Amino acid sequence: MEVVKRLKALLKEISVINSSVSLMHWDQRTYMPSKGAETRAEALGYLSALSFRKLISPEMGELLETLSSKNDSTSLSDLEAALVRVVKHDYEKAKAIPPELYQKFVITSSKSQTAWEKAKKENNFASFSPYLEEILKLLREMVEFYGYEEDPYDALLDNYEPGMTTSKLEHIVSELKPKLISLIENLSAHAPIDDSFLKGKFSKHAQKKLSMKALKCIGYDFNAGRLDETIHPFTITIGTGDVRVTTEYKLSEFIASLYGTIHEGGHALYEQGISPELKWTLLDSGASMGIHESQSRMMENIIGRSYEFLSFFYPKIQRAFPKTLKDVPLESFYRAVNKVKPSYVRIEADEVTYNLHIMLRFELEKALINRELEVKDLPDAWNAKMNEYFGIVPPSDSLGVLQDVHWAGGMIGYFPSYMLGNLYAVQFFNSALQEIPELKKEIAAGKLSTLREWLKEKIHKHGRIYKPEELCKRATGEELSPRYFIDYVEDKFRRIYGL
Ligand code: ZN
Distance 312 CA to ligand 1 centre (A): 24
Q: Are strands 242-247 and 235-239 parallel, antiparallel or unpaired?
A: antiparallel
Q: Out of 66-70, 139-143, 344-348, which region has the weakest mean confidence (pLDDT)?
A: 66-70
Distance 223 CA to ligand 1 centre (A): 22
Fill in the amino acid letter for 29. R
* Span 53-72, pLDDT tens digits: 999 999 999 999 999 986 66
* Span 153-196, pLDDT tens digits: 999 999 999 999 999 999 999 999 999 999 999 999 998 999 99
Distance of CA 318 to the CA centre of its chain: 30
Distance 464 CA to ligand 1 centre (A): 17
Q: What is the mean pLDDT of residues 44-60?
A: 95
> Cβ contacts of residue 311 below 8 Å, gap of 6+?
330, 444
pLDDT of residue 74: 73
* Span 293-328, pLDDT tens digits: 999 999 999 999 999 999 999 999 999 999 999 999
Distance 23 CA to ligand 1 centre (A): 19
Taking CA 438 as the corner, what is the angle to CA 433 and CA 444, rounded to the nearest 5 degrees? Answer: 100
| Top-confidence residue, 208 or 106 | 208
Q: List the catalytic residue out of 80, 264, 293, 351.
A: 264
- The interaxial angle of helices 378-390 and 125-146, nearest 10 deg, is 90
Distance 295 CA to ligand 1 centre (A): 8
Distance 294 CA to ligand 1 centre (A): 8
Q: What is the mean pLDDT of residues 212-217?
A: 98
* Span 416-444, pLDDT tens digits: 999 999 999 999 999 999 999 999 999 99
Q: What is the mean pLDDT of residues 381-393?
A: 97
> What are the residues facing 246 on neighbouring strands?
228
- Alpha-carbon gap, residue 19 to 484, rounded angstroms: 37
* Span 10-26, pLDDT tens digits: 999 999 999 999 999 99
pLDDT of residue 73: 66
Fill in the amino acid letter for 486. I
Contact 381, 373 (CB under 8 A): yes
Is residue 1 pLDDT above 90, yes or no?
no
Fill in the amino acid letter for 315. P
Task: Indicate if 264 belongs to the active site.
Answer: yes
End-to-end CA distance of the chain: 64
For residue 477, how many other CB atoms are within 10 A of its CB?
10
pLDDT of residue 466: 96
Distance 303 CA to ligand 1 centre (A): 15
pLDDT of residue 72: 66
